[in-house]
Amino acid sequence: MNSTYSYREFGKVSLEFSKCLVPTSDFINIVEKAIESGDPNELKQIIEEYGQFIPDEVILGGRFYFEGTHTSKKLTEENDYESVVKVGIQQALDIGVGNRSENSKGNTNSCKRECTKLIGGEQPDSLEEFDETAWVRSLKDFRNWDCIEYKNPISIFQILPNDSRDLHGRIFSLIGKKIHYSRIEDFTYNLEEFEKPKVLKLDIPPKISKIVQNKKTDCNIFATVLDTDENDDFFNYQIFHPPKGNPSLIIHCIQNKLRKRECKLKIGWMIVGYHTDFNSIFTDSNIQLKVLESDFNASKQSMDDKKFLEFEYNSLIEKIPCLGIPVLSKLDSSNESIVIGHHFFNVKENNKIGSYTFSYCFKHNHYVNLPDFTFYTLIISKYSNPDDYGMSSFTKNNFKGKIPSFSSNSFKAKMNKMIKSKSSKSDSLRQMKLKYVSLHTSGENNCGPIFLKQKSKKIKRYTIKISCGQASSCICKNSTLKKSKTNLEYAFFTPKEENKDETEA
C-alpha cells in the first residue's frame, strides 16, 4: 500500500495582460528616485514592496488536490486536456466554454481518494463533504472561478516606458556588469623573435558574440597569462579589438636576453557586460562589477600617464580591488613592438584611486611615448565567493614554503579536506592559482614603470634593466617602486568559469 498526491484542474478562461500592462506615474517616480540614489539596494526595496515579477497571463478556473491510497504497485500517468479560451480582460466575462485538464499519477487498480485542498468552485463546509461532481458543476458559474495558474512572469521593471528617460538602461547601469563568459585555455608560445608578439584569436561562441555585438551590453574583455615554467621571463598582454573585427589577445615575452624556447602558458579571458534581461538582474545579487574606460591620445607625446578614476570609496572600511588592461584598436609596425604596463595608486586620505600607464619598446630597448589606446579598469566591489577576490601583499605571496611533515591522523584529515581531487579541468587550473592581477601602490607620488609576472607558485614584481644616457627626469631613472617593499600590493580575481555558451532570453 502506498500514497500519492495528485490534482485535477479545470481551466475556464485565460486572461492576457501583455498589451495593457502600464506602470503608474507613482511607480515610475519611485524607480527614478532609486536610480538617482546610486544604490542598487534601493531597487531591491522596490521589489520587496511591489514584488519581483508580474504575469502577463492568468488562468482562471478551479483545481482540487487529493491524496490517494493504493494497493497495487503498478503506476500509471493520465493526462486529459481540452482547449482553453484566451481572451483580453474586456472579453473575460462573456466566456462560457472552459478547459479541463487532469494530471494524476496512481495505480491501475482500486484507489481511495481524499480531497486535501480546493481552489475555486463552491466550497463545502468541510473537505470531508467534498462532492467532485457537484464541485465541477459549480464551475459553470464564473463567480466561482479562482486563479489556478500564473504564466509568463516578467520583471516589474520590464513594463517601464522605453523612452528618452532610458529607465531600462539606467537600471542596468546601476546594477553593474556581469561576467557573460569566461574561459581558461592552454597556449604554446614559441619564442623565436625578440620583438614580435604572438596573437591569440579569442574563440567566442556565437551566442556570446551576439551579446558582445549588442551595444547596450557595452562589453569589455579582460585577460590574464600564467607561465607554467619557473624562469625569469615574463609576459605582457593587451587586447586588440579593431572596430569592425574580432578581438584577439596580444602577448609579448619580455627577457633580459633572447633565449629561444617553447613556453607553456595558461590563458584566462572573460567578457564582462551589462545585463540584457531584467528577469536575472538579482540572481547574482552577491556580485557587483563596474568597468571604467579611459582613452589616451598619442598626440600627448608622453611616456607615462597618470589620472584619477571616476570612482570613490571609503578607505577606512574597505579595500577595492581594481584590475586593468590596455586595449588597442589597431596593430601594425608602429606599435607591435610596444608593450603597455600599468598599476593603480591609492590616495586613501582622499578616498581616491588612480591609474598609471607607461609603454616600453623592444626595438629601442627603452620606454617610449604611449600609443593610442583605451584602458579598461574592472572594479570589484562584491563577488559571490569572498576568497576569489581581494588585495594581497607580496610578503604573503610566497608559496615555496615546505609542507610540515606531521604524521598525526588529524593533520592528514585536515589536509585531505584542503586538497581537491583532480576531478575536472577547472579544479586543476584553480590549483595553479590562475588569477587576474594588477599592482597597487600607496600614494599619488609612488608611481613608476614596473610590471607583474605570474608564475604557478608566486606573483612577482619585474623591472626592465635599461642603460640610458638621458636626463635624470627620464622615467627609466625612476626606481621608487623598485626599492619599495611596504607600499605595494596586488589586486587579484579568480572568477568561476562561465563557458556554457548561454545567453539571456
User: What is the C-alpha to C-alpha distance for residues 66 and 68, in angstroms, rounded to an integer?
Assistant: 6
Model pLDDT for residues 5-23, shown as the tens digit of each residue: 788 889 999 999 888 889 9
Q: How confident is the model at residue 460 (pLDDT cuts 50, 70, 90)?
A: confident
The 10s digit of each residue's pLDDT in 197-236 is 899 999 999 999 999 999 999 999 999 999 888 777 889 9
What's the mean pLDDT in 80-100?
Answer: 45
For residue 176, the 8-state DSSP code is -
What is the rounded average pLDDT of the residues 377-388?
A: 90
* Range name among 294-298, 344-348, 382-386 with the lowest pLDDT average: 382-386
| pLDDT of 484 | 65
Per the structure block, which three cell numbers stand in for 311? Answer: 570612482
Q: What is the mean pLDDT of residues 365-385?
A: 92
pLDDT for the residue numbered 410: 46
Residue 177 in this model has a pLDDT that exceeds 80: yes
pLDDT digits (tens, 9 = 90+) for 285-312: 678 899 999 999 999 999 999 999 998 8
Distance of CA 387 to the CA centre of its chain: 16
Phi, psi of 72 (to 5 degrees): -115, 155
What's at 160, amino acid-wise? L
Bridge partners of 63, per DSSP, are 9, 119
Q: What is d(CA 378, CA 15) in angstroms, rounded to the nearest whole number?
A: 46
For the record, the C-alpha cell of 386 comes out as: 569572498
Give residue-wise pLDDT tens across range 260-279.
Answer: 888 889 999 999 999 988 87
Q: Which residue has the higher pLDDT, 317 or 179?
A: 179
Does residue 64 carry a pLDDT above 60? Answer: yes
pLDDT number for residue 293: 97
Q: 110 forms bridges with which residues in the sheet?
A: none
User: Which cell numbers hold the place of 217?
Assistant: 551590453
Write b or e for each residue in 297-311: b if 16 or more Cβ atoms lie within 10 A of its Cβ, otherwise e: eeeeebbbbeeebeb
Residue 314 is predicted with a pLDDT of 84
pLDDT above 70 (res 355): yes
Q: Considering the chain, what is the average pLDDT of its residues?
A: 81
Asked if residues 129 and 137 have their Cβ atoms less than 8 Å apart, the reply is no
DSSP secondary structure of 399-433: --SPPP----HHHHHHHHHHSPP--SHHHHHHHTT
- Give the SS3 label for residue 302: coil
HSE-CB of 411 using CA atoms within 13 angstroms = 6
Q: Residue 75's beta-bridge partner residues?
A: 107
**69/102: higher pLDDT:** 69
Residue ranges of alpha helices (H) inside 81-235 are 132-138, 167-175, 206-213
pLDDT at 429 over 90: no
pLDDT score at 20? 85
- Per-residue pLDDT tens for 44-56? 999 999 999 999 9
Is residue 496 very low, low, confident or very high in pLDDT (cuts 50, 70, 90)? confident
pLDDT of 137 above 80: yes
Percent of the chain with pLDDT over 90: 47
Rounded CA gap, 471 and 474, in Å? 6
Pairing of strands 198-201, 53-70: unpaired
Output 469 or 367, whichever has higher pLDDT.
367
What percent of the chain stands above pLDDT 70?
78
Higher pLDDT, 409 or 180: 180
Strand-strand pairing, 322-328 and 234-240: parallel
Checking if the pLDDT of 30 tops 80, the result is yes
- The answer on pLDDT for 363 being more than 80 is yes
- Grid cell, residue 306, equals 597618470
Burial of 430 from C-beta contacts in 10 A (0-12 / 13-18 / 19+): middle
Q: Where are the domains of the chain?
A: 2-155, 176-400+423-505
The whole-model pTM stands at: 0.78
As given in the structure block, the three cell numbers for residue 8 are 485535477
Pairing of β 322-328 and β 373-382: antiparallel
Q: Residues 6 or more apart from 461 whose CB is under 8 A from it?
A: 394, 439, 450, 451, 452, 453, 481, 482, 488
**Element housing 482 (H / E):** helix 480-483
Task: Give burial (CB, 10 Å; 0-12/13-18/19+) of 333.
Answer: exposed
Say what the pLDDT of residue 3 is. Answer: 67
Q: Can you list the alpha helix ranges (DSSP code H) found in 200-267?
A: 206-213
- pLDDT exceeds 50 at position 85: yes
DSSP 336: T
Helix H, strand E, coil C: the string for 14-72 is EEECCCCCCCCHHHHHHHHHHHHHCCHHHHHHHHHHHCCEEEEEEEEEEEEEEEEEECC
302 is written with which cell numbers? Answer: 608622453
| Mean pLDDT across 97-102 | 39
User: What are the grid coordinates assigned to 183, written together?
Assistant: 574561459
> 287 — phi, psi (to 5°)?
-120, 130
